[in-house]
């Protein structure tokens, strides 16, 4: 099943001035989007999506913008709405909107698996 999952800040949550669409600068309540074709269930209230970070000392010079670590994030799902797509040529079978509240937690940064670099790129000097 192809799912488009949108994590959206509930009304009156902090940080709204920092959440801008990159291409227009308009403010948005969208926190994250996930495209999921797995058989995994959709998020339930209490779920927290991961935040991704780059720690400079672990950055791979071949992938300068890549994340190096992740952690369980500060946004907690409070309610979930599902919108099934019944059209045969729809891009997704289900659109899911997860409404979230800001609920900070102290979770450790965990290293991500190292990006595999093809041999021909390893030989090129940076």
Per-residue pLDDT of the chain (126 residues; tens, 9 = 90+): 899 999 999 988 877 777 777 778 788 888 999 999 999 999 999 999 999 999 988 888 878 889 999 999 999 999 999 999 988 888 999 999 999 999 999 999 999 987 776 776 666 555
Looking up tokens 């045969």, which residue turns up? 88
Element (H, E) at 120: helix 119-122
Cβ pair 63, 32 in contact under 8 A: no
What range defines the domain where residue 44 resides?
A: 3-109
Distances (CA, A) of 38 to 4, 16, 34, 42, 104: 11, 31, 11, 10, 28
- Chain-centroid distance of CA 60 in Å reads 21
The answer as to whether 124 is a domain residue is no
The answer as to whether 24 is a domain residue is yes
The answer as to whether 120 is a domain residue is no
Distances (CA, A) of 29 to 9, 35, 37, 50: 5, 18, 24, 17
The answer as to whether 48 is a domain residue is yes
Element (H, E) at 122: helix 119-122
pLDDT the model gives residue 61: 81
How many structural domains compose the chain? 1
The DSSP secondary structure of 61-109, one letter per residue, reads TTSTT---EEEEEEEEEEEEEEEE---TT-S-SEEEEEEEEE-------
| Whether the model pTM is above 0.85 | no
């Amino acid at each position: 099943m192809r799912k488009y999952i949108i994590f959206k800040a509930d009304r009156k949550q902090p940080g709204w001035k920092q959440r801008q669409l990159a291409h227009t600068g308009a403010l948005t309540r969208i926190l994250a989007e996930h495209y999921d074709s797995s058989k995994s269930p959709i998020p339930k209230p209490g779920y927290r999506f991961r935040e991704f970070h780059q720690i400079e000392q672990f950055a791979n010079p071949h992938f300068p913008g890549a994340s190096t670590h992740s952690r369980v994030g500060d946004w907690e799902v409070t309610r979930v709405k599902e919108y099934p797509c019944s059209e045969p040529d729809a891009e997704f079978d289900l659109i899911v909107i997860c409404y979230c509240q800001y609920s900070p937690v102290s979770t450790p940064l965990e290293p991500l698996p190292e990006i595999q670099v093809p041999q021909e790129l390893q030989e090129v000097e940076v």
